[in-house]
Structure 1
Protein backbone atom coordinates (compact mmCIF):
# COMPACT_ATOMS: atom_id res chain seq x y z
CA UNK A 1 0.00 0.00 0.00
CA UNK A 2 1.34 3.42 -0.96
CA UNK A 3 1.63 5.75 2.02
CA UNK A 4 0.88 9.44 1.92
CA UNK A 5 3.49 11.42 0.03
CA UNK A 6 4.40 15.06 0.40
CA UNK A 7 5.30 17.44 -2.40
CA UNK A 8 6.54 20.99 -1.89
CA UNK A 9 5.00 23.74 -3.97
CA UNK A 10 6.42 27.24 -3.52
CA UNK A 11 7.73 26.31 -0.05
CA UNK A 12 4.36 24.85 0.98
CA UNK A 13 4.28 21.12 1.89
CA UNK A 14 1.22 19.40 0.39
CA UNK A 15 0.06 15.88 1.19
CA UNK A 16 -0.87 13.48 -1.62
CA UNK A 17 -2.92 10.45 -0.56
CA UNK A 18 -3.75 7.28 -2.46
CA UNK A 19 -7.44 6.33 -2.42
CA UNK A 20 -9.18 3.68 -4.54
CA UNK A 21 -6.33 3.44 -7.04
CA UNK A 22 -6.17 7.20 -7.58
CA UNK A 23 -4.54 10.24 -6.02
CA UNK A 24 -6.19 12.78 -3.75
CA UNK A 25 -4.43 16.02 -2.82
CA UNK A 26 -4.92 17.93 0.43
CA UNK A 27 -6.48 21.25 -0.57
CA UNK A 28 -6.28 22.42 3.06
CA UNK A 29 -2.50 22.32 2.68
CA UNK A 30 -2.82 24.17 -0.61
CA UNK A 31 -5.00 26.88 0.93
CA UNK A 32 -2.32 27.53 3.54
CA UNK A 33 -0.09 28.81 0.74
CA UNK A 34 -2.40 31.80 0.30
CA UNK A 35 -3.14 33.04 3.80
CA UNK A 36 -1.51 30.62 6.21
CA UNK A 37 -2.96 27.73 8.21
CA UNK A 38 -5.34 29.93 10.22
CA UNK A 39 -7.55 30.85 7.24
CA UNK A 40 -7.19 27.70 5.14
CA UNK A 41 -10.66 26.41 6.03
CA UNK A 42 -12.26 29.75 5.09
CA UNK A 43 -10.56 29.73 1.69
CA UNK A 44 -11.90 26.25 0.96
CA UNK A 45 -15.39 27.24 2.10
CA UNK A 46 -15.45 30.42 0.01
CA UNK A 47 -14.28 28.50 -3.04
CA UNK A 48 -16.97 25.88 -2.55
CA UNK A 49 -19.84 28.38 -2.42
CA UNK A 50 -18.95 29.75 -5.87
CA UNK A 51 -21.45 28.78 -8.58
CA UNK A 52 -18.79 27.94 -11.18
CA UNK A 53 -17.02 25.75 -8.64
CA UNK A 54 -20.23 23.84 -7.99
CA UNK A 55 -20.82 23.41 -11.72
CA UNK A 56 -17.32 21.97 -12.09
CA UNK A 57 -17.75 19.63 -9.10
CA UNK A 58 -21.20 18.54 -10.24
CA UNK A 59 -19.97 17.78 -13.74
CA UNK A 60 -17.04 15.77 -12.37
CA UNK A 61 -19.34 13.73 -10.14
CA UNK A 62 -21.79 13.03 -12.96
CA UNK A 63 -18.96 11.63 -15.07
CA UNK A 64 -17.30 9.45 -12.44
CA UNK A 65 -19.85 8.84 -9.70
CA UNK A 66 -22.99 6.86 -10.64
CA UNK A 67 -24.37 7.37 -7.11
CA UNK A 68 -24.19 11.16 -7.24
CA UNK A 69 -27.46 12.82 -6.20
CA UNK A 70 -28.19 15.26 -9.01
CA UNK A 71 -31.37 16.69 -7.45
CA UNK A 72 -29.52 17.78 -4.32
CA UNK A 73 -26.74 19.17 -6.49
CA UNK A 74 -29.23 21.29 -8.45
CA UNK A 75 -30.53 22.69 -5.18
CA UNK A 76 -27.06 23.84 -4.14
CA UNK A 77 -26.35 25.24 -7.59
CA UNK A 78 -29.53 27.31 -7.51
CA UNK A 79 -28.60 28.70 -4.09
CA UNK A 80 -25.03 29.54 -5.09
CA UNK A 81 -24.32 33.23 -5.42
CA UNK A 82 -26.76 34.32 -2.73
CA UNK A 83 -25.23 36.18 0.21
CA UNK A 84 -26.86 33.75 2.61
CA UNK A 85 -25.52 30.65 0.87
CA UNK A 86 -22.95 28.73 2.90
CA UNK A 87 -21.73 25.21 2.13
CA UNK A 88 -19.14 23.07 3.87
CA UNK A 89 -17.29 20.17 2.30
CA UNK A 90 -18.87 17.77 4.78
CA UNK A 91 -22.37 18.97 3.89
CA UNK A 92 -21.61 18.72 0.17
CA UNK A 93 -20.48 15.12 0.60
CA UNK A 94 -23.35 14.14 2.88
CA UNK A 95 -26.15 15.67 0.80
CA UNK A 96 -24.95 14.71 -2.70
CA UNK A 97 -23.00 11.52 -1.97
CA UNK A 98 -20.00 13.12 -3.68
CA UNK A 99 -16.83 11.06 -4.10
CA UNK A 100 -14.48 13.70 -5.42
CA UNK A 101 -13.58 15.03 -1.97
CA UNK A 102 -13.35 13.71 1.56
CA UNK A 103 -12.53 15.11 4.99
CA UNK A 104 -9.95 13.45 7.19
CA UNK A 105 -10.04 14.27 10.89
CA UNK A 106 -7.11 14.46 13.26
CA UNK A 107 -3.69 16.00 13.48
CA UNK A 108 -2.69 15.15 9.92
CA UNK A 109 -6.15 15.59 8.50
CA UNK A 110 -7.74 18.11 6.20
CA UNK A 111 -9.88 18.22 3.08
CA UNK A 112 -8.61 15.99 0.29
CA UNK A 113 -9.76 16.32 -3.32
CA UNK A 114 -9.28 14.13 -6.36
CA UNK A 115 -6.39 15.51 -8.35
CA UNK A 116 -8.71 16.81 -11.10
CA UNK A 117 -10.52 18.89 -8.50
CA UNK A 118 -7.34 19.83 -6.63
CA UNK A 119 -5.82 21.25 -9.80
CA UNK A 120 -8.95 23.34 -10.28
CA UNK A 121 -8.81 24.53 -6.67
CA UNK A 122 -5.21 25.60 -7.26
CA UNK A 123 -6.55 28.26 -9.60
CA UNK A 124 -8.12 29.92 -6.56
CA UNK A 125 -4.64 30.26 -5.07
CA UNK A 126 -2.97 31.62 -8.20
CA UNK A 127 -2.25 30.56 -11.76
CA UNK A 128 1.46 30.37 -10.94
CA UNK A 129 0.78 28.13 -7.95
CA UNK A 130 -1.34 25.86 -10.14
CA UNK A 131 1.46 25.45 -12.68
CA UNK A 132 4.00 24.58 -9.99
CA UNK A 133 1.56 22.15 -8.38
CA UNK A 134 1.03 20.29 -11.66
CA UNK A 135 4.77 20.24 -12.27
CA UNK A 136 5.54 18.82 -8.82
CA UNK A 137 2.75 16.26 -9.09
CA UNK A 138 4.05 15.08 -12.45
CA UNK A 139 7.54 14.85 -10.99
CA UNK A 140 6.17 12.73 -8.13
CA UNK A 141 4.46 10.33 -10.53
CA UNK A 142 7.55 10.11 -12.72
CA UNK A 143 9.72 9.32 -9.69
CA UNK A 144 7.29 6.64 -8.52
CA UNK A 145 7.19 4.99 -11.92
CA UNK A 146 10.96 5.14 -12.26
CA UNK A 147 11.33 3.30 -8.97
CA UNK A 148 8.88 0.66 -10.16
CA UNK A 149 10.65 0.40 -13.53
CA UNK A 150 7.51 1.45 -15.35
CA UNK A 151 7.76 3.55 -18.46
CA UNK A 152 5.94 6.81 -17.96
CA UNK A 153 3.95 7.78 -21.01
CA UNK A 154 2.41 11.22 -20.48
CA UNK A 155 -0.54 10.75 -22.81
CA UNK A 156 -1.48 7.35 -21.38
CA UNK A 157 -1.08 8.71 -17.85
CA UNK A 158 -3.57 11.48 -18.52
CA UNK A 159 -5.99 9.04 -20.12
CA UNK A 160 -5.80 6.48 -17.30
CA UNK A 161 -6.61 9.08 -14.68
CA UNK A 162 -9.40 10.69 -16.66
CA UNK A 163 -8.22 14.28 -16.64
CA UNK A 164 -11.00 16.74 -17.67
CA UNK A 165 -8.73 18.06 -20.48
CA UNK A 166 -10.02 18.22 -24.01
CA UNK A 167 -7.40 18.76 -26.69
CA UNK A 168 -8.12 20.08 -30.16
CA UNK A 169 -5.85 17.52 -31.80
CA UNK A 170 -5.81 17.83 -35.57
CA UNK A 171 -6.90 14.59 -37.20
CA UNK A 172 -4.69 14.42 -40.24
CA UNK A 173 -6.44 11.52 -41.90
CA UNK A 174 -9.21 10.84 -44.36
CA UNK A 175 -12.64 9.98 -42.94
CA UNK A 176 -13.88 6.68 -44.43
CA UNK A 177 -17.15 6.71 -46.35
CA UNK A 178 -20.21 4.87 -45.12
CA UNK A 179 -22.87 5.19 -42.44
CA UNK A 180 -22.29 2.40 -39.97
CA UNK A 181 -25.18 3.48 -37.77
CA UNK A 182 -27.84 3.04 -40.45
CA UNK A 183 -26.30 0.08 -42.30
CA UNK A 184 -25.79 -2.52 -39.58
CA UNK A 185 -24.64 -5.47 -41.73
CA UNK A 186 -21.06 -5.02 -40.52
CA UNK A 187 -22.09 -5.72 -36.93
CA UNK A 188 -22.58 -9.46 -37.40
CA UNK A 189 -18.90 -9.92 -38.24
CA UNK A 190 -17.41 -7.17 -36.05
CA UNK A 191 -15.05 -7.88 -33.18
CA UNK A 192 -15.34 -6.02 -29.89
CA UNK A 193 -12.68 -3.45 -30.80
CA UNK A 194 -14.55 -2.43 -33.94
CA UNK A 195 -17.84 -2.08 -32.09
CA UNK A 196 -16.13 0.51 -29.91
CA UNK A 197 -14.46 2.13 -32.92
CA UNK A 198 -17.79 2.66 -34.68
CA UNK A 199 -19.42 3.95 -31.51
CA UNK A 200 -16.66 6.48 -30.88
CA UNK A 201 -15.28 7.35 -34.32
CA UNK A 202 -18.05 6.29 -36.69
CA UNK A 203 -16.10 3.67 -38.66
CA UNK A 204 -14.21 0.39 -38.33
CA UNK A 205 -10.46 -0.02 -38.09
CA UNK A 206 -10.34 -1.66 -41.53
CA UNK A 207 -12.27 1.21 -43.10
CA UNK A 208 -9.78 3.65 -41.59
CA UNK A 209 -6.82 1.62 -42.85
CA UNK A 210 -8.30 1.42 -46.35
CA UNK A 211 -8.83 5.18 -46.41
CA UNK A 212 -5.39 5.94 -44.96
CA UNK A 213 -2.96 3.31 -46.28
CA UNK A 214 0.20 5.34 -45.61
CA UNK A 215 -0.72 6.29 -42.06
CA UNK A 216 -1.86 2.72 -41.38
CA UNK A 217 1.67 1.42 -41.92
CA UNK A 218 2.75 2.76 -38.53
CA UNK A 219 -0.45 3.91 -36.80
CA UNK A 220 -4.03 3.03 -35.99
CA UNK A 221 -7.03 5.32 -35.64
CA UNK A 222 -6.77 5.43 -31.85
CA UNK A 223 -3.35 7.05 -32.11
CA UNK A 224 -5.15 10.14 -33.43
CA UNK A 225 -7.81 10.24 -30.72
CA UNK A 226 -8.13 13.21 -28.38
CA UNK A 227 -7.70 12.81 -24.63
CA UNK A 228 -11.48 13.08 -24.24
CA UNK A 229 -12.07 10.31 -26.79
CA UNK A 230 -9.53 8.05 -25.10
CA UNK A 231 -11.15 8.73 -21.73
CA UNK A 232 -14.57 7.77 -23.07
CA UNK A 233 -13.07 4.74 -24.81
CA UNK A 234 -11.69 3.48 -21.50
CA UNK A 235 -15.14 3.81 -19.93
CA UNK A 236 -16.82 2.10 -22.89
CA UNK A 237 -14.49 -0.88 -22.58
CA UNK A 238 -15.56 -1.32 -18.96
CA UNK A 239 -19.28 -1.07 -19.80
CA UNK A 240 -18.90 -3.46 -22.73
CA UNK A 241 -17.11 -6.07 -20.65
CA UNK A 242 -19.91 -5.96 -18.09
CA UNK A 243 -22.60 -6.34 -20.75
CA UNK A 244 -20.77 -9.31 -22.28
CA UNK A 245 -20.81 -10.98 -18.86
CA UNK A 246 -24.55 -10.28 -18.69
CA UNK A 247 -25.05 -12.05 -22.03
CA UNK A 248 -26.30 -9.05 -24.03
CA UNK A 249 -26.25 -9.39 -27.82
CA UNK A 250 -24.06 -7.24 -30.05
CA UNK A 251 -26.86 -5.04 -31.36
CA UNK A 252 -28.14 -4.21 -27.88
CA UNK A 253 -24.63 -3.52 -26.62
CA UNK A 254 -23.91 -1.29 -29.60
CA UNK A 255 -27.02 0.81 -28.98
CA UNK A 256 -26.26 1.18 -25.27
CA UNK A 257 -22.60 2.04 -25.87
CA UNK A 258 -23.60 4.57 -28.51
CA UNK A 259 -25.79 6.41 -26.00
CA UNK A 260 -23.09 6.31 -23.32
CA UNK A 261 -20.48 7.71 -25.71
CA UNK A 262 -22.68 10.61 -26.80
CA UNK A 263 -23.56 11.46 -23.21
CA UNK A 264 -20.01 11.32 -21.88
CA UNK A 265 -18.53 13.32 -24.76
CA UNK A 266 -21.15 16.01 -24.19
CA UNK A 267 -20.35 16.05 -20.47
CA UNK A 268 -16.64 16.48 -21.20
CA UNK A 269 -17.37 19.34 -23.59
CA UNK A 270 -19.47 21.00 -20.89
CA UNK A 271 -16.69 20.48 -18.35
CA UNK A 272 -14.25 22.21 -20.67
CA UNK A 273 -16.70 25.09 -21.10
CA UNK A 274 -16.98 25.51 -17.33
CA UNK A 275 -13.21 25.32 -16.99
CA UNK A 276 -12.76 28.06 -19.59
CA UNK A 277 -15.32 30.25 -17.80
CA UNK A 278 -13.44 29.90 -14.54
CA UNK A 279 -10.14 30.73 -16.21
CA UNK A 280 -11.66 33.78 -17.93
CA UNK A 281 -13.04 35.06 -14.62
CA UNK A 282 -9.67 34.63 -12.94
CA UNK A 283 -7.90 36.48 -15.74
CA UNK A 284 -10.32 39.40 -15.39
CA UNK A 285 -9.93 39.65 -11.62
Structure 2
Protein backbone atom coordinates (compact mmCIF):
# COMPACT_ATOMS: atom_id res chain seq x y z
CA UNK A 1 0.00 0.00 0.00
CA UNK A 2 1.31 3.44 -0.90
CA UNK A 3 0.93 6.84 0.74
CA UNK A 4 1.46 10.26 -0.76
CA UNK A 5 3.10 13.41 0.54
CA UNK A 6 4.30 16.72 -0.85
CA UNK A 7 7.54 18.67 -0.58
CA UNK A 8 7.89 22.22 -1.90
CA UNK A 9 11.09 23.17 -3.73
CA UNK A 10 11.58 26.69 -5.09
CA UNK A 11 7.83 27.30 -4.93
CA UNK A 12 6.86 24.10 -6.76
CA UNK A 13 5.07 21.16 -5.12
CA UNK A 14 6.81 17.83 -5.76
CA UNK A 15 4.89 14.65 -4.98
CA UNK A 16 6.40 11.75 -3.07
CA UNK A 17 4.78 8.33 -2.97
CA UNK A 18 5.93 5.76 -0.41
CA UNK A 19 5.71 2.08 -1.35
CA UNK A 20 6.90 -0.63 1.05
CA UNK A 21 8.78 2.02 3.07
CA UNK A 22 10.65 3.24 -0.04
CA UNK A 23 10.17 6.83 -1.23
CA UNK A 24 9.62 7.54 -4.92
CA UNK A 25 9.85 11.18 -6.02
CA UNK A 26 7.90 12.57 -8.99
CA UNK A 27 10.34 13.43 -11.79
CA UNK A 28 7.53 15.14 -13.70
CA UNK A 29 7.07 17.63 -10.85
CA UNK A 30 10.83 18.13 -10.62
CA UNK A 31 10.93 19.17 -14.29
CA UNK A 32 8.04 21.59 -13.69
CA UNK A 33 10.17 23.37 -11.11
CA UNK A 34 12.80 24.19 -13.76
CA UNK A 35 11.08 23.90 -17.16
CA UNK A 36 7.73 24.40 -18.89
CA UNK A 37 5.10 21.83 -17.86
CA UNK A 38 4.65 20.66 -21.45
CA UNK A 39 8.33 19.67 -21.72
CA UNK A 40 8.38 17.24 -18.78
CA UNK A 41 7.89 14.08 -20.86
CA UNK A 42 10.57 15.10 -23.39
CA UNK A 43 13.10 16.00 -20.68
CA UNK A 44 12.64 12.62 -18.97
CA UNK A 45 12.91 10.73 -22.29
CA UNK A 46 16.10 12.57 -23.24
CA UNK A 47 17.57 11.86 -19.82
CA UNK A 48 16.77 8.14 -19.71
CA UNK A 49 18.19 7.44 -23.18
CA UNK A 50 21.75 8.55 -22.33
CA UNK A 51 24.49 6.01 -21.74
CA UNK A 52 25.36 7.43 -18.30
CA UNK A 53 21.74 7.29 -17.11
CA UNK A 54 21.22 3.73 -18.31
CA UNK A 55 24.48 2.75 -16.65
CA UNK A 56 23.32 4.23 -13.34
CA UNK A 57 19.88 2.62 -13.60
CA UNK A 58 21.45 -0.73 -14.43
CA UNK A 59 23.77 -0.63 -11.40
CA UNK A 60 20.88 0.39 -9.10
CA UNK A 61 18.61 -2.39 -10.36
CA UNK A 62 21.42 -4.97 -10.10
CA UNK A 63 21.84 -4.09 -6.41
CA UNK A 64 18.19 -3.83 -5.33
CA UNK A 65 16.21 -5.91 -7.84
CA UNK A 66 16.85 -9.69 -7.96
CA UNK A 67 14.44 -10.01 -10.91
CA UNK A 68 16.24 -7.44 -13.06
CA UNK A 69 16.81 -8.71 -16.61
CA UNK A 70 20.50 -8.10 -17.11
CA UNK A 71 20.59 -9.45 -20.70
CA UNK A 72 18.00 -6.92 -21.85
CA UNK A 73 19.88 -4.20 -20.00
CA UNK A 74 23.14 -5.08 -21.77
CA UNK A 75 21.32 -4.85 -25.10
CA UNK A 76 20.05 -1.35 -24.33
CA UNK A 77 23.43 -0.26 -23.01
CA UNK A 78 25.17 -1.32 -26.22
CA UNK A 79 22.77 0.79 -28.29
CA UNK A 80 22.77 3.84 -26.02
CA UNK A 81 24.38 6.85 -27.65
CA UNK A 82 23.41 5.90 -31.21
CA UNK A 83 21.37 8.54 -33.08
CA UNK A 84 18.57 6.03 -33.70
CA UNK A 85 18.30 4.88 -30.07
CA UNK A 86 15.14 5.84 -28.22
CA UNK A 87 13.96 4.94 -24.73
CA UNK A 88 10.91 5.57 -22.55
CA UNK A 89 10.15 4.74 -18.94
CA UNK A 90 7.41 2.29 -19.92
CA UNK A 91 9.71 0.49 -22.38
CA UNK A 92 12.53 0.32 -19.80
CA UNK A 93 10.24 -1.21 -17.17
CA UNK A 94 8.56 -3.64 -19.57
CA UNK A 95 11.81 -4.97 -21.07
CA UNK A 96 14.03 -5.14 -17.97
CA UNK A 97 11.45 -5.67 -15.19
CA UNK A 98 12.85 -2.55 -13.46
CA UNK A 99 11.44 -1.37 -10.13
CA UNK A 100 13.36 1.87 -9.61
CA UNK A 101 11.27 4.03 -11.92
CA UNK A 102 7.66 3.90 -13.12
CA UNK A 103 4.79 6.01 -14.46
CA UNK A 104 1.27 6.23 -13.09
CA UNK A 105 -1.95 8.10 -13.84
CA UNK A 106 -4.44 9.77 -11.53
CA UNK A 107 -4.37 12.57 -8.98
CA UNK A 108 -0.66 12.08 -8.22
CA UNK A 109 0.14 10.98 -11.78
CA UNK A 110 3.52 11.32 -13.45
CA UNK A 111 6.88 9.56 -13.68
CA UNK A 112 8.26 8.51 -10.29
CA UNK A 113 11.73 7.29 -9.39
CA UNK A 114 13.28 5.90 -6.23
CA UNK A 115 14.89 8.73 -4.27
CA UNK A 116 18.40 7.55 -5.25
CA UNK A 117 17.48 7.82 -8.92
CA UNK A 118 15.48 11.03 -8.44
CA UNK A 119 18.49 12.79 -6.92
CA UNK A 120 20.59 11.65 -9.90
CA UNK A 121 17.92 13.08 -12.20
CA UNK A 122 17.95 16.33 -10.22
CA UNK A 123 21.69 16.61 -10.82
CA UNK A 124 21.09 16.29 -14.56
CA UNK A 125 18.63 19.18 -14.43
CA UNK A 126 20.89 21.39 -12.31
CA UNK A 127 23.44 20.68 -9.54
CA UNK A 128 21.97 23.55 -7.52
CA UNK A 129 18.44 22.21 -7.99
CA UNK A 130 19.59 18.77 -6.84
CA UNK A 131 20.85 20.30 -3.59
CA UNK A 132 17.54 22.11 -3.03
CA UNK A 133 15.60 18.87 -3.54
CA UNK A 134 17.98 16.91 -1.31
CA UNK A 135 17.85 19.50 1.47
CA UNK A 136 14.02 19.69 1.46
CA UNK A 137 13.74 15.89 1.41
CA UNK A 138 16.10 15.62 4.38
CA UNK A 139 14.03 18.24 6.22
CA UNK A 140 10.86 16.18 5.71
CA UNK A 141 12.59 13.04 6.96
CA UNK A 142 13.84 14.95 10.01
CA UNK A 143 10.27 16.01 10.80
CA UNK A 144 8.98 12.44 10.38
CA UNK A 145 11.59 10.99 12.72
CA UNK A 146 11.44 13.75 15.34
CA UNK A 147 10.48 12.25 18.71
CA UNK A 148 8.31 15.21 19.68
CA UNK A 149 6.45 14.98 16.38
CA UNK A 150 5.94 11.25 16.84
CA UNK A 151 4.64 11.79 20.38
CA UNK A 152 2.28 14.51 19.14
CA UNK A 153 0.84 12.09 16.57
CA UNK A 154 0.36 9.40 19.23
CA UNK A 155 -1.39 11.84 21.57
CA UNK A 156 -3.62 13.06 18.72
CA UNK A 157 -4.64 9.49 17.92
CA UNK A 158 -5.29 8.77 21.60
CA UNK A 159 -7.48 11.86 21.97
CA UNK A 160 -9.46 10.76 18.91
CA UNK A 161 -9.92 7.29 20.44
CA UNK A 162 -11.13 8.75 23.73
CA UNK A 163 -13.46 11.00 21.77
CA UNK A 164 -15.57 7.93 20.98
CA UNK A 165 -15.71 7.00 24.68
CA UNK A 166 -16.86 10.56 25.37
CA UNK A 167 -19.57 10.56 22.68
CA UNK A 168 -20.86 7.16 23.83
CA UNK A 169 -21.35 8.54 27.34
CA UNK A 170 -23.31 11.47 25.87
CA UNK A 171 -25.38 9.14 23.71
CA UNK A 172 -26.26 6.79 26.57
CA UNK A 173 -26.66 9.19 29.49
CA UNK A 174 -27.54 12.67 28.17
CA UNK A 175 -29.43 12.24 24.89
CA UNK A 176 -32.18 10.00 26.38
CA UNK A 177 -33.08 12.72 28.92
CA UNK A 178 -33.59 15.50 26.36
CA UNK A 179 -36.31 16.31 23.85
CA UNK A 180 -34.00 17.18 20.99
CA UNK A 181 -35.09 15.97 17.55
CA UNK A 182 -32.85 13.54 15.69
CA UNK A 183 -31.69 16.39 13.45
CA UNK A 184 -30.60 18.50 16.42
CA UNK A 185 -28.96 15.88 18.63
CA UNK A 186 -25.57 16.93 17.28
CA UNK A 187 -25.96 20.09 19.35
CA UNK A 188 -25.63 18.02 22.52
CA UNK A 189 -22.34 16.52 21.33
CA UNK A 190 -21.04 19.94 20.24
CA UNK A 191 -22.06 21.41 23.59
CA UNK A 192 -20.10 18.79 25.54
CA UNK A 193 -17.10 19.14 23.21
CA UNK A 194 -17.11 22.88 23.84
CA UNK A 195 -17.26 22.27 27.57
CA UNK A 196 -13.85 20.59 27.25
CA UNK A 197 -12.62 23.28 24.85
CA UNK A 198 -13.53 25.99 27.36
CA UNK A 199 -11.74 24.15 30.15
CA UNK A 200 -8.57 23.55 28.16
CA UNK A 201 -8.38 26.27 25.48
CA UNK A 202 -10.60 28.96 27.08
CA UNK A 203 -12.71 29.26 23.91
CA UNK A 204 -15.37 27.36 21.97
CA UNK A 205 -14.78 25.73 18.59
CA UNK A 206 -16.72 28.53 16.87
CA UNK A 207 -14.73 31.23 18.63
CA UNK A 208 -11.51 29.54 17.47
CA UNK A 209 -12.81 29.30 13.88
CA UNK A 210 -13.75 32.97 13.88
CA UNK A 211 -10.28 33.90 15.17
CA UNK A 212 -8.48 31.57 12.72
CA UNK A 213 -10.45 31.72 9.43
CA UNK A 214 -7.56 30.60 7.19
CA UNK A 215 -6.76 27.55 9.31
CA UNK A 216 -10.46 26.69 9.31
CA UNK A 217 -10.52 26.92 5.49
CA UNK A 218 -7.51 24.58 5.43
CA UNK A 219 -9.58 21.99 7.30
CA UNK A 220 -7.87 22.44 10.67
CA UNK A 221 -9.60 22.58 14.03
CA UNK A 222 -8.59 23.78 17.49
CA UNK A 223 -6.95 20.47 18.41
CA UNK A 224 -4.78 20.28 15.28
CA UNK A 225 -2.45 22.98 16.63
CA UNK A 226 -2.59 21.92 20.28
CA UNK A 227 0.60 21.24 22.20
CA UNK A 228 1.59 17.73 23.25
CA UNK A 229 0.57 18.51 26.83
CA UNK A 230 -2.80 19.89 25.71
CA UNK A 231 -3.53 16.72 23.75
CA UNK A 232 -2.59 14.66 26.81
CA UNK A 233 -4.94 16.74 28.95
CA UNK A 234 -7.75 16.55 26.38
CA UNK A 235 -7.51 12.77 26.37
CA UNK A 236 -7.63 12.72 30.18
CA UNK A 237 -10.56 15.17 30.29
CA UNK A 238 -12.57 13.16 27.77
CA UNK A 239 -12.21 10.05 29.92
CA UNK A 240 -12.98 11.92 33.15
CA UNK A 241 -16.02 13.71 31.71
CA UNK A 242 -17.46 10.43 30.41
CA UNK A 243 -17.26 9.03 33.96
CA UNK A 244 -18.83 12.17 35.46
CA UNK A 245 -21.65 12.00 32.91
CA UNK A 246 -22.34 8.36 33.80
CA UNK A 247 -22.45 9.33 37.47
CA UNK A 248 -25.15 11.90 36.73
CA UNK A 249 -23.29 15.07 37.72
CA UNK A 250 -24.66 18.37 36.46
CA UNK A 251 -22.85 20.33 33.78
CA UNK A 252 -21.95 23.02 36.32
CA UNK A 253 -20.40 20.50 38.71
CA UNK A 254 -18.58 18.73 35.90
CA UNK A 255 -17.10 22.01 34.65
CA UNK A 256 -15.75 22.77 38.12
CA UNK A 257 -14.14 19.33 38.51
CA UNK A 258 -12.74 19.33 34.97
CA UNK A 259 -11.34 22.84 35.38
CA UNK A 260 -9.56 22.00 38.64
CA UNK A 261 -8.20 18.76 37.17
CA UNK A 262 -6.91 20.47 34.02
CA UNK A 263 -5.21 23.23 36.00
CA UNK A 264 -3.48 20.78 38.34
CA UNK A 265 -2.34 18.40 35.59
CA UNK A 266 -1.20 21.22 33.29
CA UNK A 267 1.01 22.73 35.98
CA UNK A 268 2.62 19.32 36.53
CA UNK A 269 3.13 18.50 32.84
CA UNK A 270 4.39 21.95 31.87
CA UNK A 271 7.21 21.74 34.43
CA UNK A 272 8.58 18.54 32.92
CA UNK A 273 9.42 19.55 29.33
CA UNK A 274 9.22 23.06 27.85
CA UNK A 275 8.87 21.89 24.22
CA UNK A 276 5.75 19.88 25.06
CA UNK A 277 4.02 23.13 26.06
CA UNK A 278 4.43 24.64 22.56
CA UNK A 279 1.51 24.66 20.16
CA UNK A 280 2.11 22.87 16.86
CA UNK A 281 1.79 25.84 14.51
CA UNK A 282 3.67 24.11 11.65
CA UNK A 283 5.07 20.67 10.85
CA UNK A 284 8.56 21.84 11.85
CA UNK A 285 7.55 23.56 15.11
CA UNK A 286 9.24 21.08 17.44
CA UNK A 287 12.42 20.83 15.36
CA UNK A 288 12.71 24.62 15.16
CA UNK A 289 12.39 24.91 18.94
CA UNK A 290 14.98 22.17 19.51
CA UNK A 291 17.43 24.11 17.35
CA UNK A 292 17.21 27.20 19.50
CA UNK A 293 20.44 28.28 21.17
CA UNK A 294 21.60 26.42 24.30
CA UNK A 295 21.27 29.71 26.19
CA UNK A 296 17.55 29.91 25.37
CA UNK A 297 17.00 26.30 26.38
CA UNK A 298 18.90 26.90 29.61
CA UNK A 299 16.77 29.96 30.40
CA UNK A 300 13.58 27.99 29.77
CA UNK A 301 14.80 25.27 32.09
CA UNK A 302 15.48 27.87 34.79
CA UNK A 303 11.94 29.21 34.39
CA UNK A 304 10.59 25.73 34.97
CA UNK A 305 12.78 25.29 38.04
CA UNK A 306 11.65 28.62 39.52
CA UNK A 307 8.02 27.52 39.26
CA UNK A 308 8.66 24.60 41.61
CA UNK A 309 8.12 25.69 45.23
CA UNK A 310 11.14 25.27 47.50
CA UNK A 311 10.72 23.42 50.80
CA UNK A 312 10.47 25.73 53.78
CA UNK A 313 13.40 25.77 56.17
CA UNK A 314 12.76 24.50 59.65
CA UNK A 315 13.02 27.13 62.35
CA UNK A 316 15.77 26.62 64.89
CA UNK A 317 14.43 25.69 68.29
TM-score, normalised via structure 2 length: 0.46
Query: CA separation in 2, counterparts of 1:101 and 1:2?
Result: 15
Query: CA separation in 2, counterparts of 1:49 and 1:59?
Result: 15
Is the CA contact 2:123–2:129 (under 8 Å) kept in the aligned structure 1?
yes
Q: CA, structure 1 residues 33+133, in 2 after alignment: closer, same or farther (shift >3 Å)?
A: same
- Secondary structure of the corresponding residue to residue 35 of structure 1: coil
1:46-99 Cα shifts (integer Å, max 9, x gaps): 000000000000000000000000000011111110111110000000000001
Alignment of 1:33-182 (within 5 A): 33-146=33-146, 147-149=149-151
Q: CA, structure 1 residues 130+73, in 2 after alignment: closer, same or farther (shift >3 Å)?
A: same
Report the Cα offset of residue 34 of structure 1.
2.3
Query: CA separation in 2, counterparts of 1:15 and 1:72?
Result: 30
- Secondary structure of the corresponding residue to residue 103 of structure 1: strand
Alignment of 1:176-195 (within 5 A): none
Is the CA contact 1:33–1:125 (under 8 Å) kept in the aligned structure 2?
no
Query: CA separation in 2, counterparts of 1:102 and 1:26?
Result: 10
Q: CA, structure 1 residues 149+127, in 2 after alignment: closer, same or farther (shift >3 Å)?
A: farther
Q: CA, structure 1 residues 55+149, in 2 after alignment: closer, same or farther (shift >3 Å)?
A: farther
Is the CA contact 2:15–2:108 (under 8 Å) kept in the aligned structure 1?
no
Unaligned runs of 5+ in 1: 151-285
1:175-208 Cα shifts (integer Å, max 9, x gaps): xxxxxxxxxxxxxxxxxxxxxxxxxxxxxxxxxx
1:98-150 Cα shifts (integer Å, max 9, x gaps): 01011111343001100000000001110110001000000001111122259
- Secondary structure of the corresponding residue to residue 144 of structure 1: helix
- Secondary structure of the corresponding residue to residue 58 of structure 1: helix
- Secondary structure of the corresponding residue to residue 34 of structure 1: coil
Query: CA separation in 2, counterparts of 1:148 and 1:2?
Result: 20
Q: Cα RMSD (Å) of the superposition?
A: 1.5
Corresponding residue for 1:31? 31
TM-score, normalised via structure 1 length: 0.51
Unaligned runs of 5+ in 2: 153-317
Give the structure with the larger helix fraction. Answer: 2
- Secondary structure of the corresponding residue to residue 16 of structure 2: strand
Query: CA separation in 2, counterparts of 1:41 and 1:78?
Result: 24
Corresponding residue for 1:226? none
Give the number of the structure with larger relative contact order, counting CA–CA contacts within 8 Å between residues 6 or more apart.
Answer: 1
Query: CA separation in 2, counterparts of 1:106 and 1:15?
Result: 12
- Secondary structure of the corresponding residue to residue 16 of structure 1: strand
